[in-house]
A and B are shown apart, each in its own frame.
Chain A
Amino acid sequence: MRIKQIYTVIAALLAVLILPSCAVTTAPTEASSKTTGKTTKASTAFTSSTSTGDGEKEEVSPDVKAEEFARSNSSQLRSDMAVGGGEYVAAFAATLNINDAKKDQFYALAKTNFDQIFVSSNTNAKEVVSNTRKVIDVAGI
């Protein structure tokens, strides 16, 4: 009969385990717990990249945002640049403050100059941004 008791407990736990309605330990939440670990002071985690810890606004180069975006979306950004369009290259253009009127030109430019922006499979986010800047400067947009 002991086996029966053990299984009763297992069944109850199984039922309990599967009741949750939201993501709790999935990858996305893992990522968010990292962020929120710092949110004891509401402003810090959120603004860490663009300001000092005490929330005072500090002037930062606009490309910091572009680098951050490229860092966490390198793969998707690269795919978009290879085809000359898409959501990620559009967001990237916004972080680089590229004029709306020149966006299509920028997408085409990114495609034709793909291997100057992504020189190899190891090109990092900082290089991607500075290479993109160079390509933009040469083309004069």
Chain B
Amino acid sequence: MHYSPVLIGKGVVSLVDDPSFFLSSRGKSSPQAELEATLKSFFVALPNDNQTTACRFPARLAWLTRVLDIKKSALPEYQCTHLNHWLDDLDADGLTLIFPVSMLNSPASMFGHTFLRLDRKAEKKPDLLAWTVSYAAHTAGDEGVSFALNGLLGGYPGKFSLEPYHTQVKAYSDIESRDMWEYELDYSQAEINSLLLHLWELLPAYFDYYFIDENCSYQLLALLDVARPELDLTRNFYLDATPAETVRALTDAPGLLKKVNYRPSLRQVVSERAANLARPDQELARALALGEINMRDEQFNIRDDRIRAEILELAADYVVYQDAVKRNEKMLLGLDVQANHVLGDQFPNDENSHSNLEQETLLYQLLAARSKVPVKSGSLEIVGPNYRPDQGHRGRRIGFRYGYDEPDQFLQMDFRWAYHDLYDPSSGFIRGAQLEFFQPAFRYYPEKDDFQFESVDFVNIISAPLRNYFVQPYSWEASAALKRYQFDEGNRPLMWDFKAGIGISYQLTGSTVASIFANTAINLSNEFDHNIALAGGGRVQLISTVTASWEAGLYGQAMQYFEGIDQTSYELGMTQRFTLGADSAIVFDIAEKREFGDAFLSTQLSLQLYF
């Protein structure tokens, strides 16, 4: 007798942490006690059927009557009106896993997110009206340190919740400008029904939410395991469950994936619309959206209908996009905490928020003008990226390298827990986004027969979204590491190294991206006066995808230390990366560096494996 199909059990402890989910007081850890209590209470009739165990736990009932071969006639007859009404309303006959890609600007959504859409027959209901199931932590507005600790240690209750798909699309795609991937799954009606019955049991219950393993993505897999237990989708997730890895578990399951659909974010739509127009038309659209010219403008009116329609559509989308960007910036700076709630619940241009009347009126005029242009809706075809998120390389990486830092040779081994750097194959990842966690490295110097701990990078993030005429996000970077820096010959002390910077990134050619950053650095070591050194400086980088399996980069960085030590550090180098297979690559790096001593040449050749 095992727990798992009904209770999402892990060993003999249920993952559910809500005592009211269990009928026995020992239910969380004792399947036997819970089973007995459940069986007993199925035979207890209550004045209101909806409160009976049978109506409260229909999945348990279904499972037990099946495995124990209990005759329907042996049980009291129940009228679960609430449950039936709920099922009628959901009316689900299909399941789609939705994966909004990551947004680096928010620590909580860096790896992306997943939720489940309960589809209905297409002819009956469009996708936007379908319900979705999400699992999320309820953080009660905590931020910063207590948020991080509670999240990591399971201090927040996690719950399943239902929401219409259109509110999710609005929140992710329109407000946060995150592309969404829709993975349509092949489940039978019977399987979907058992998932729904189980969901009904789980909705009122809470779990302790753990960011790393028992998170949204893991719980959704567990829920899908109820629908088809033999797939055992959760089996490979012990330590952590990043959304992309859970999606991979689904796409790897034989015959489970039906179809994948890409839903571009508003930012993507604006960029694509702009790309479809000639530059003078783009300028008109931008001027209209910014209120610099109006619809009586002569240049605008000599355009033919089709172009005018496209200009107005771009201008209108741009007004909405700008509004969303402003809101996000405010939120990021913590300027308007109230906006937190407004943002999730109401769209900027909702009737209930007249925060920006001028924009409101302008948008209305643009759309009214568009409706007068006798051209039907344009067919804006946006082809998604060539690779889906589940088709990218795996997040963990191990590297073996041979290096030569004048005058020493060394062998180095390093490991990365997660997730992606700018030189990793970009297929399936967002271009210009680097997200690395916990990267320890060890070196062996054969000539000195010396084994050394080299460094550990705790966090290393670069967010470098591309700017164009319409979309102009800032790039930023931040890192925290413990690493060795070269002082005088043979003196390479370990020190803390924190960096942060802000910059801009542009696409130079189809395959080359350039970024420029202004940076600050803090270093902590007893080599410095008062043990601390501060610096300011800049960095430029050029990364080019030469062929599908060859990435080449050039970088230069200069930092002027003004506190703790008076020193100019610099680095000028080149990186070449060649893909060997889906999960392996060779990287060659050469750089002229000056840290806190004399300048030296550093050369490294490494083999990197993803797993």
Contact = CB atoms under 8 A, between A and B. Distances in A.
A105 interface: no
A23 B217 CA distance: 10
Contact of A47 (B85, B241, B370): B85
B461 interface: yes
B546 to A, nearest CB: 32
Interface residues of B, number: 110
A34 B162 CA distance: 11
Nearest to B111: A21
B345 A16 contact: no
B371 A112 contact: yes
Contacts of A50: 89
A22 B360 contact: no
A55 B82 contact: yes
A134 interface: no
A23 B531 contact: no
Interface in B93-143: 100, 103, 106-114, 123, 125-129, 131, 134, 136-139, 141, 143
Contacts of B148: 13, 16-17
Interface string A79-92: 11111111110110
A94 B164 CA distance: 14
B388 interface: no
A15 B316 contact: no
Contact of A20 (B89, B215, B360): B215
B138 A27 contact: no
Interface string A1-33: 101100110111111111111111111111111
A81 B347 CA distance: 17
Contact of A16 (B114, B152, B174, B241): B152
A33 B136 contact: yes
A33 B162 contact: no
B361 interface: yes
Contact of A85 (B134, B216, B377): B377
A24 B50 CA distance: 33
A30 B108 CA distance: 12
Contacts of A39: 159, 161-162, 203-204
Contacts of B204: 39-42
A84 B364 contact: no
Contact of A14 (B316, B371, B458): B458
Contacts of B340: 27, 30
A48 to B, nearest CB: 11
Given A17-B148, A91-B129, A73 B347 contact: yes
A22 B114 contact: yes
A54 to B, nearest CB: 8
Given A28-B168, A72-B170, A100-B123, A19 B152 contact: yes
A136 B372 CA distance: 19
Given A31-B171, A32-B163, A82-B370, A24 B139 contact: yes
A61 interface: no
Given A42-B203, A73-B166, A79-B316, A18 B370 contact: no
Interface string B299-336: 00000000001000100110010000000000100000
Interface string B442-460: 0000000000000000110
B108 A23 contact: yes
Given A21-B240, A24-B139, A121-B363, A87 B126 contact: yes
B161 A36 contact: yes
B32 interface: no
Contact of B367 (A32, A55, A114): A114
B351 A30 contact: no
A103 B326 CA distance: 36
Contacts of B474: none
Contact of A4 (B242, B361, B496): B496
Contacts of A83: 309, 313, 370-371, 376-378
The 3 A-B pairs of least Cβ separation, nearest first, read A31-B344, A114-B371, A85-B377
Interface of B: 50, 81-83, 85-86, 89, 100, 103, 106-114, 123, 125-129, 131, 134, 136-139, 141, 143-145, 147-149, 151-152, 156, 159-164, 166-168, 170-172, 174-176, 200, 203-204, 209, 211-212, 215-217, 240-243, 309, 313, 316-317, 320, 331, 340-341, 343-351, 360-361, 363-364, 367-368, 370-372, 376-378, 437-438, 458-459, 461, 480, 482, 496, 498, 522, 524, 531-532
8 contacts: A14-B480, A27-B343, A45-B161, A72-B167, A72-B170, A79-B316, A84-B371, A115-B368
